[in-house]
Structure 1
Amino acid sequence: MLGVSWPGLNHKQRMMMIGGMNASSGAMPVPTAVAMATLGTCRRYEFDGRKGFWSIYGKAKMNNLTATTRIAALEKRRWSVSPACSALAESRNKSRASFYEEVLQAAREKFTQEISFQSKDKDISLAKALLYVAVEDEAFLAFNREMDALSLHNERRDTPSPSNVKEWDSMEAVPLAGKNIYEWLVELDAIAKEVEAELVSRDIGCDLVEVIDSVNKVLFESRGFKRSSVLVDSKCLYLHSVLSTGCASAILLSVIYIEVCRRLNLTIVGSRVGGEFLIWPLTGNPEELFKVTSGHSLFGVVNGKCVEDPLSMASDINSNSLLGLNIATNRDIIGVALCNLIRLHWKQASRINHGLMLASPLRSAHKADEKFNQTDGSNVPLLRPQELRLAIMASERLLILQPHNWAFRRDYGMMLYYSRDYDAAVQELSICMAFAPEEEAEVLEPFVEKLHLMRLESSWKSPGQQGQFVFP
């Protein structure tokens, strides 16, 4: 028989409480009920830090009804926060984290395979590569949303549980604005078929001007695509969002144009000119692109109003200067799209620190009176972690494209510094110094030396920081 001790109660009070439990529940033996209540209370103390059983039953005056009611309430609460349930929830969280991590890895591997330098550049699909980027970022955001919903559910029991979140069979099945990768590729096929139908309705052959006119009519009139001049919304920078909403950055609008024309066997090429990305059909006679018909040149029709803006470098392009432009490869175009993602996510991450530049700490590292010389890491500005992580992910993909670009690696290392991952920051910035020009390496050197000290200090973790589960 299990004996239970209640400090603070005399023999008479104990008998009153046992009698109350017998009266209220004849099916359960008294010692068992008391033991369950006691164990449940002790576990709850360890789980959520509340005072427990002793603070409730240590009062001198308590009648039978009060004791019975409170024990029943404790028993009900014990089941809602028991360690077994907590362990199950933690196990489920780890399982979901592992699932999302597999999706992230699969999307990164597919992206790497698509832009592999072992394959010819012309065989790279811009649409697939950028959709793999979107899948990876969406999986990361979906995991964060699910964890937020779980935290809210744990805090407020009246909120629905996120346990019924649908799992996807594969990375390709991840929904992007309601469609998976395959369905968005089919959407591009559908746009190309609409252009073909427009050409058939005109009863014409494959005249270059008529094909371009039909593409423009379908994209900008039927489909309603429009270029966003100010990039403040990430929806303009992900291919699936652009196909869904019609609002696009210049580079993604060019990607859609190139992909649609590729399906029509019309080669479209492009190049960066100042802050613009210009595209045009590849032809052996560039003069025909600048022949003015109906008040506009074909080059201007394809690229929009930017070629008519006197403040734009595109307004100076003619048939001769066009030949001098470096035509962007598919890898270059993907790189431009990734740079735009980095720029936007960094801007959103550092919103509270208006005007904060990635390279700002590099300059201050040379000044002895700067607070940066305090190597406790407390002077690193606080940034929005989710947006910063998205910028870091875009930077990692950019380095897959251009691993020897020292400027890209420097920016990546600085983002790791802002995220307080000093080990990785030291490694990346040290590699950067090997590729950077001598004057840039001299700027990086004192900063990296200070990062070494910050890395050592951050390694002195308290016992409470060990063993924490962190989703990468």
Structure 2
Amino acid sequence: MHRDMQKELQAMTSTATLTTTAASPMAYSPTIRNRKHSATMLHERKRRKSLSPPVVGAAASAVPLLRSRTTRDSSTPNIYLEVLKTAREKFTQEISFQSKDKDISLAKALLYIAAEDEAYMAFNREMDALSCLNEQKDTFVPSDAQEWDCLETMPLAHKSISEWLHELDAIAKEVEAELVSRDIGCHLVAVLEAVNVVLFQSRGFKRSTVLVDSKCSYLHSVLNSGRGSAILLSIIYIEVCRRLGLTIVGSRVGEDFLIWPQTRNPEELFKVTTGHNLFAIVNGRCVEDPRSKASDVNSSSLLGLDIATNRDIIGIALANLIRLHWKRASRTNHGLMLTSPLRPVHDATEKHSVIDGPNDHLLRPQDLRLAIMASERLLILQPHNWALRRDHGMMLYYNREYSSAVQELSICMAFAPEEEAEVLEPFVEKLHLLRLESSWESLGHTGRVTVP
């Protein structure tokens, strides 16, 4: 992806440079034969200038402005490309299997994810600005450029990654101040109550049920707005308690992710105080909703739940991002699923099954690319997850990256159960033909490719 974006940038900036050079006043100089005439004209201009106020010509003032815009806009996308690359590398290092799971920072990993996605969206905005410049439009498109030149200083909602980490430190200090003000010790229940007061009362954090708002799915946005998805608020809770020396664990129960402190006495988590028990206050209404599997959890069943690792928690956050961006990308295609194109091809009742091209569905390209990026990161964590690789290949198909889609789906078939591989095989065969047809059309040919 980075290579394609670099090629696009080079094409745009080269066009902008040619436009600026052609418009430059230095591109023209009078010949020797016209010097005498030029001297006469210069004398006449001086006489007129003394009789009238100075007027700056529109064309003369536009040239340096055009040059400054070109210089600024053509250099800024390179910074975003570098951030894209560095953020992915930092994320990969953070979740590396060479590191112990307990040493992984959930906050750092999620902030690297946010930085990469923000850089991608900012890159798109800058390329739009360059397009306007190349088309010589009068509308000025402001640049997102700031006084920064690397991942470490890139602003996410006006703060750098290190500043957002310090924000978590500040929340932990507020909890300590709450404990001091109550003049109580560091008993488990007292610490949890203080954390709840700071997060949900003083700071006003709330769980959001809006599934299409991306601000609820990125750590810096949740810290900034106070509204976030359940998994993001759980991660904030875990990170704050870790800074207080309290280990919080979690587990997926149905569609919910529940957290609680490591304790040999889980009964105290379910004692009702101020109308709710601590377990309910930490995890929200889901544990009191009879329609949720989380409502069945008690002090006995709690000990039997599978504890999620830090890598598992990051994986849940990434899976949520994939669902979020796919839902936004396919908003105009209600009910469209990633695997929708597979079944028609596999239908044995049709003698000549066909594959619908991605042009049959109108998808939002930026959201689709963000879903693909989240899927790429999740595959780093779960390289042998055949269902994830299948979905990744299908997103590449929808994005018309046919060669990459064939590669991913072929790998998927090696890991998938036999019945799933049988569904994928005819689709991959048809996808080979679609790739060939796409290459044929790119060469300027018309008509469909026929294969005997």
RMSD (Å), alpha carbons: 3.0
Distance 1:98 1:455 in 2: 31
Distance 1:122 1:27 in 2: 78
Paired position in structure 2 for 1:288: 268
Choose from 363, 374, 387 the match for 1:407: 387
Q: Which TM-score applies when normalising by structure 1?
A: 0.77
**Structure 1 residues 329 and 295: CA distance shift in structure 2, 3 A:** same
Choose from 283, 297, 300 the match for 2:280: 300
Cα distance, 1:156 vs. partner?
Answer: 6.1
Letter in 1 for 2:205: F
Distance 2:163 2:351 in 1: 52
Distance 2:270 2:388 in 1: 36
Distance 1:374 1:179 in 2: 50
User: Quick check: 143-152 or 349-358, which moved more?
Assistant: 143-152
Distance 1:378 1:412 in 2: 15
- 2:215 paired with 1:235: yes
RCO (CA 8 Å, sep 6+): is it higher in 1 or 2? Answer: 2
Kept after mapping to 2: 8 A contact 1:220/1:226: yes
Distance 2:174 2:193 in 1: 13
Q: Which runs of 5+ in 2 are unaligned?
A: 1-35, 42-56, 446-452
Q: Write the deviation string for residues 199-241 of structure 1: whole angstroms up to 9, x where unpaired.
A: 0011111111111111011001110100012312000000000
Paired position in structure 1 for 2:115: 135
Kept after mapping to 1: 8 A contact 2:79/2:149: no
Cα distance, 1:147 vs. partner?
Answer: 1.8
Q: Write the deviation string for residues 178-199 of structure 1: whole angstroms up to 9, x where unpaired.
A: 0010000000000000000000
Kept after mapping to 1: 8 A contact 2:77/2:127: no
**Structure 1 residues 445 and 464: CA distance shift in structure 2, 3 A:** closer
Choose from 216, 221, 224 the match for 1:244: 224
Q: Which runs of 5+ in 1 are unaligned?
A: 1-24, 31-74, 466-472
- 2:345 paired with 1:365: yes
Q: Write the deviation string for residues 347-373 of structure 1: whole angstroms up to 9, x where unpaired.
A: 111111111100000111123788995
Distance 2:267 2:425 in 1: 51
SS of the equivalent of 1:459 reads: helix
- 2:170 paired with 1:159: no
Paired position in structure 1 for 2:316: 336
Superposition pairs for residues 298-447 of structure 1, below 5 Å? 298-367=278-347, 373-374=353-354, 377=357, 379-447=359-427
SS of the equivalent of 2:249 reads: strand
- 2:182 paired with 1:171: no
Q: Write the deviation string for residues 115-157 of structure 1: whole angstroms up to 9, x where unpaired.
A: 0011111110000000000000000011111122333345564
**Structure 1 residues 279 and 95: CA distance shift in structure 2, 3 A:** same
Q: Write the deviation string for residues 388-417 of structure 1: whole angstroms up to 9, x where unpaired.
A: 000000000000011110111011000000
Superposition pairs for residues 14-93 of structure 1, below 5 Å? 26-27=37-38, 89=70
Distance 2:313 2:397 in 1: 28
Paired position in structure 2 for 1:187: 167
Percent sequence identity over aligned pairs? 74
**Structure 1 residues 461 and 171: CA distance shift in structure 2, 3 A:** farther
Q: Write the deviation string for residues 64-103 of structure 1: whole angstroms up to 9, x where unpaired.
A: xxxxxxxxxxx9879979xxx89x95x9766544432221
**Structure 1 residues 269 and 430: CA distance shift in structure 2, 3 A:** same
Q: Which TM-score applies when normalising by structure 2?
A: 0.80
- 2:229 paired with 1:253: no
Cα distance, 1:455 vs. partner?
Answer: 1.2
SS of the equivalent of 2:222 reads: helix
Paired position in structure 2 for 1:197: 177
